[in-house]
Structures are given as C-alpha cells and as structure tokens.
Amino acid sequence: MRTVKQAKLLRLHFSEGDHYQGTPLYEAIVNRCKELKIAGATVFRGLVGYGETVEIHRHHLIRNDQPIIVTIVDSEENLARLIPEVEEMMDTGMIATSDVECIRVLGPSTPEQS
C-alpha cells in the first residue's frame, strides 16, 4: 500500500567554511536535526557557486570553501520548529522551502515508527 503524504522540502545553502561553535556548520545542523527528531537530513557538496557575498565558492588548495546544500524532508510543523533554530545558527546563506509529495519506502527490517 502506497501512502503519499504532503510534506515540505527544506534546502539550506551555505559554505563549507562556515562553522558553528567550532564544528562545521553542516555537521552542527545535522546534529540539531537529530535532536529535534527531524525525519532525515542529507548534506551535499557542490563544485562551484556564489551567493550573497558574490565571492566564488570553490575548492582552494588549503581551505575548503565549496558550496554546501542540506536537504531535509519532513512535515510542515516539524520544519516550523527547525527553521528558527537553523536561522540562528547560520551566518550568511539561504533557506528555501517547497511543497512536495512524499512516499516512504519501508523495508521489512525497519518497523513503522509511530
């Protein structure tokens, strides 16, 4: 039986060089998502990009400054809890949301979570 749920997709764009209290920002955000019991989060690294500061983000010899995208899919209420927290952690960057339909594929090994 396929269950299609309305959900939200949240995308956070920032730089790999961003830090939050000493840890890389993307790690800090993923950890915060776990604390807030968000369904899942995935971090991607882009090749080249630019943003608000018009500085090109790319791979440098010594320091990494490539663009980072974190994508999170969850219900609207859960994301509403997350967004203010993330906003506070991020220095510069962009937060985008979009409406999606979500299909969860659960194997026999993973029991349905309530």
Partner 1 sequence: MLQKGMAKKVTIFINEDTQHHLESLTDTILTFLLHRGVAGATATRAAAGFGAHHVMHTTKIVALTEHLPIRIEFIESAQKVDELMPTLYDLVTDGLIEVQDTQVVKAANKDRPLPPKALRSEIRGAARMMRIYMGESDKWQGEPLYEAIIKRLRMMDIAGATIYRGILGYGVKGHTHKSGRLPFSHDLPIMISVVDLPDKLNRALSEIEAMMQDGIIVLSDVDVIRLVHGRPLTEPPNANS
Q: Which is nearer to partner 1, 54 or 67 (CB)?
A: 67
105 binds partner 1 (CB under 8 A): yes
Q: Are 75 and 40 in contact (CB under 8 A)?
A: no
Residues 37 and 5: their CA atoms lie apart, in Å, by 18
Applying CB under 8 A, does 96 fall inside the site for partner 1? no
State the minimum distance, in angstroms, from the CB of residue 69 to partner 1: 9
Dist. CA 43–CA 33, nearest whole Å: 12
Return the range that interacts with partner 1 (CB under 8 A); candidates 49-57, 79-87, 88-96, 98-106.
Answer: 98-106
The secondary structure of residue 55, as a DSSP letter, is P
